Structure 1
Amino acid sequence: MALGGKMIRPRLLIDAHEDLGGTATSAAIDAAGAMQLLHIGLIIHDDVIDNDTVRRGEMNITGQFSSEAMLLGATSAAAQTWGISSSLLAGDLMLNEAQSLLARLDLDAPRRLAVLDIYDETIAESVAGEQSDVWLSLHLDEADSGDVLTMIGRKTAAYSFEAPLSIAAILAGSNDCLVERLRAIGRRIGTVYQLRDDVLGLFGDEHETGKSVLSDLREGKETLLVNTARAHPAWSEVAHLFGDRALDAQGGLRLRQAIEESGAKAYVESMIAEHCETIAGLIAEAELPQALASRLADLTSASSLRCA
């Protein structure tokens, strides 16, 4: 499964449902739409939390609405309030519409309720992960790699991979054991996806990722890269630059060099490889249909090797 063009979550749900022999095609399409709405709602809120006005090189909702308000004569502060308010409300609408789609799925009541339970759990996990991400970025206590990986699992993996796979299995009438096995696989794939995202966020090609390599450093994001680098003497020489909103290209270069020198980048690459091996084992143990097993193996590879 290639990641070009993204739409990962809805495509994964529809494809997995088909691979599992599911026949609830209409419900799968609607559920896939709900997964995309969930994604949009969460990233809108994430941009607000991160004080971002740009996503992938283009103004997001906050940026667009703020700019339009200023053109009409609003002060900078008032325009920002308008943009943020509009983003929060838009995100709320997306999350509500996603739930509404799932509540109206053309399914028997037990399966529809099971899908809604997954959605509720996913929202709770995503909220906990987002809050943990913000907390870790405050650097008020000493987080370890386990804390960072737990945050990744909740914030990214739960809604991006676990939920689509779980819902696909429920729609296909799979048993609870298979649903749980797919959730475990989804959690690991999501972790690989985010670890690669963190590496690209610092060392990727900005033209391909659509994201500045200074963004995470300016925000003080507690990624596994940074968490690992902290233990190395090289980090103490550049620690004052981390989280500096005015960080320039030279400062960013120094931070990236310290991260590489500490061995953190190599460590994260080894973690990605280790997770990929674990996923291969989980796929084999799950005794999945060959089409789905191959699809998940391809998705794992694409997540680990992607450039954007």
Structure 2
Amino acid sequence: MTVNTTTWQPAPPSSNNGSWTRFNSLVEAELRDFVDKNRAQAGRISRSFPLMWDHIGSALIGGKRLRPRMVHLAYTAFDGGDPGRCATMAAAFELLHTALVVHDDAIDRDFVRRGQPTIGAHYRDHASDQGLSTPDAEHLGHSASIIAGDLLLAGALRLASRAAAGLPQADELTATVHDAVFASAAGELEDVLFSASTDRPDLQDVLEMESMKTAGYSFEAPLKAGALLAGAGLDQADALAAIGRRIGVAYQIVDDVLGTFGEPGTTGKSAESDLREGKRTVLTAFAAEADGFDDLLAAFRRGEVEADEVRSALKDCGADARAQDLARSLLDEGLRESRRLPLHSAARAELEAVCMHVLTRGN
């Protein structure tokens, strides 16, 4: 079984802000320490367990560190003064993100993420080398992914508790992280059930699912946690979180578009998995208004038509353009709401940069 032995490298800074660069190095140190300590403990428990932590460490390398960036943005916007504590909370959200991604790959039966083999792929390949059948090897790979995701999730909650310890707002902080996990699980369940249901969810159903599944833990909760950690009042933290919810839904809408029309070499994920799994997205919600689209999508899932035919149908009915317009509208709403908050100019500029990134990523 091969292991990615790439050395830890700090993620590229998301802006030219020297404060973010310094802060990001603290987050990377927290993540590295998390993996190293758990790998050492794993070696005292079983011979096979340290290898799991090698794979977890590899899964944490790279990425844009978007959730830590949200924590940092809110923390600095309200003049927080303990960057070490903030970095611990930011690392907690990065662990949470990786946990949910690892679980999502198992749910979607994907073995590639960011253009690299997933944790499950390594275990699948090892099982295949040992002579297991393809279905059994894939089942083993997905099982290992579930275990890895559970470990990451437990680590995220532990780091979040450590970051909040001793603060007057500790209960509200830990509740914020817990609520993000809770909502994400609800959103993931809705996503799975939508795929299996013969009833077609409407656009509002899809948007609510995406708000729970992605927006909450990626934008809403990190922004709220960063604000609370800095000492902001609950009203201000909730207001910033509401802005994050809009940005997060827009992020997921763009992700839906990239998941269907993006180049796998750029996006690092299959351009057919959403269609193959029958994912109900904003794209399919718009396209369902066109006669015959649902039948065409069902035919694709049965292997009777090619993915390009489904993509053409989506474009012909304007689903991709309408999705982009909706994402842009949500981001505009978020920025308008942000002007009501007492954010200093640097934080406001950073928020605008995030919105631009959400809208243009993949271009």
Are the equivalent residues in 1 in contact too, given 2:164–2:229 (CA < 8 A)? no
Q: Structure 2, unaligned stretches of length 5 or more?
A: 1-12, 16-61
Report 1:33-44 matches (<5 A).
33-44=91-102
Q: Which residue of 2 aligns with 1:119?
A: 177
Q: Which residue of 1 aligns with 2:138?
A: 80
Aligned AA (2:347): L
CA distance in 1, matches of 2:238, 2:158: 25
Q: CA deviation at 1:212?
A: 2.6
Match of 1:267 among 314, 322, 331: 322
* TM-aligned CA distance change 1:219 to 1:43, over 3 Å: same
Higher relative contact order (CA 8 A, sep 6+): 1
1:211 matches 2:269: yes
Q: Which residue of 2 aligns with 1:174?
A: 232
CA distance in 2, matches of 1:25, 1:170: 14
Q: Which residue of 1 aligns with 2:222?
A: 164
TM-score, structure 1 normalization: 0.92
CA distance in 1, matches of 2:162, 2:320: 46
Report 1:194-233 matches (<5 A).
194-233=252-291
* TM-aligned CA distance change 1:209 to 1:98, over 3 Å: same
1:67 matches 2:125: yes
Runs of 4+ in 1 over 6 A off after TM superposition: none
* TM-aligned CA distance change 1:247 to 1:201, over 3 Å: farther
Aligned AA (1:22): G
Cα deviation code 1:212-260 (max 9, x no counterpart): 322211111111111111111252662333434x477xx2111111111
Report 1:1-308 matches (<5 A).
2=14, 5-105=63-163, 107-233=165-291, 235=293, 238-244=296-302, 246=303, 251-307=306-362
CA distance in 1, matches of 2:294, 2:171: 52
Task: Please provide the CA RMSD for this pair.
Answer: 2.0
Q: Structure 1, unaligned stretches of length 5 or more?
A: none
Q: CA deviation at 1:146?
A: 0.3
Query: 288-297 vs 27-36, which deviates more?
Result: 288-297
Cα deviation code 1:89-139 (max 9, x no counterpart): 111110111111122226434322221101110111000000011111123
Query: 233-242 vs 52-61, which deviates more?
Result: 233-242
Query: 1-10 vs 296-305, which deviates more?
Result: 1-10
Percent identity for Structure 1 against Structure 2:
35
Are the equivalent residues in 2 in contact too, given 1:2–1:302 (CA < 8 A)? no
CA distance in 2, matches of 1:204, 1:210: 9
Aligned AA (1:266): A
* TM-aligned CA distance change 1:77 to 1:241, over 3 Å: closer
CA distance in 1, matches of 2:275, 2:95: 29
* TM-aligned CA distance change 1:192 to 1:103, over 3 Å: same
Aligned AA (1:263): G
Aligned AA (2:169): R
CA distance in 1, matches of 2:301, 2:337: 38
Are the equivalent residues in 2 in contact too, given 1:232–1:262 (CA < 8 A)? yes
Are the equivalent residues in 1 in contact too, given 2:275–2:297 (CA < 8 A)? no
Query: 211-220 vs 189-198, which deviates more?
Result: 211-220
CA distance in 1, matches of 2:350, 2:83: 19
CA distance in 2, matches of 1:39, 1:85: 19
* TM-aligned CA distance change 1:92 to 1:194, over 3 Å: same
* TM-aligned CA distance change 1:106 to 1:282, over 3 Å: closer
